[in-house]
Amino acid sequence: MPDVAYHVTKWERGFTRVINVQGGDHHSTITRVRAGLQAMEMGIPKGYPDYVLHKMVTVMRGGEEVKISKRAGDYVTIRELVDEVAATRSATFSFRARVTASSSSTSISRARNPTRTLCTTSSMRHARMCSVLRQAGIVVAEAPGLLADADLSPLTSPYEQALLRRLADFPTELAAAARDLAPHQITFYLKDLAQEFHSY
């Protein structure tokens, strides 16, 4: 009942789309909440709200699984993981790389090692690109406007062409990730983009 009431107030406040992100153990909630909302006869669409169900994440510390029990009060919060890893961006990037439909494990020691994280690799490519722009005398914040009409005809090498194709894919990738409620698609795209840029 509290979940139904919560979503009724969301609907009444004008939220025509709601996405609930929950653990896979809450799969039966979807049917009950949607049925309760239909019973209210308020014109709420049958598929409201949307759900993204995550498989459970296993947390590893020192090569051993951290035992988690909500009932016993033994769990690790995202805040604790971020504090232990000491890099919010790295932890966020790591979780966004997870495919919700598959089980995964998070190694604290691996996330602590900046040379091994996908986030760090992408950050290094970004820093390198910013350096290229600075050397060209272009302020990073002004680059999109200044380069919007740049002549790309001199970029003819296979590496340049591959990078241009990957960059051109971004709007499609973003739209697909939003449509499929799959933020990991953007993380994978950034990984591929970083690889193309490194090759270039």
**Mean pLDDT, range 185-198, rounded to an integer:** 86
**Mean pLDDT, range 34-40, rounded to an integer:** 95
Residues 160 and 193 in one domain: yes
Residues 142 and 186 in one domain: yes
Angle, helices 27-39/2-12, rounded to nearest 10 degrees:
60
| CATH code for the domain of 154 | 1.10.730.10
d(CA 67, CA 59): 8
Residue 114 has what pLDDT?
A: 47
Residues 21 and 94 in one domain: no
Closest CA to 163 of 120, 118, 128, 139: 128
Quote the pTM value: 0.62
pLDDT at 73 over 60: yes
Portion of the chain with pLDDT greater than 70, in percent: 71
Q: Domain containing 179: what range?
A: 117-199
If one compares 65 and 192, the residue with the highest pLDDT of the two is 192
Q: Which tens digit of pLDDT belongs to each residue from 145-183?
A: 999 999 999 999 998 999 999 999 999 999 999 998 888
Cα–Cα distances in Å, from 25 out to 9, 65, 69? 25, 20, 13
Residues 128 and 80 in one domain: no
Residues 180 and 143 in one domain: yes
Q: Which tens digit of pLDDT belongs to each residue from 106-132?
A: 544 555 454 455 666 777 888 898 999
Residue 84 has what pLDDT?
A: 63
d(CA 105, CA 58): 4
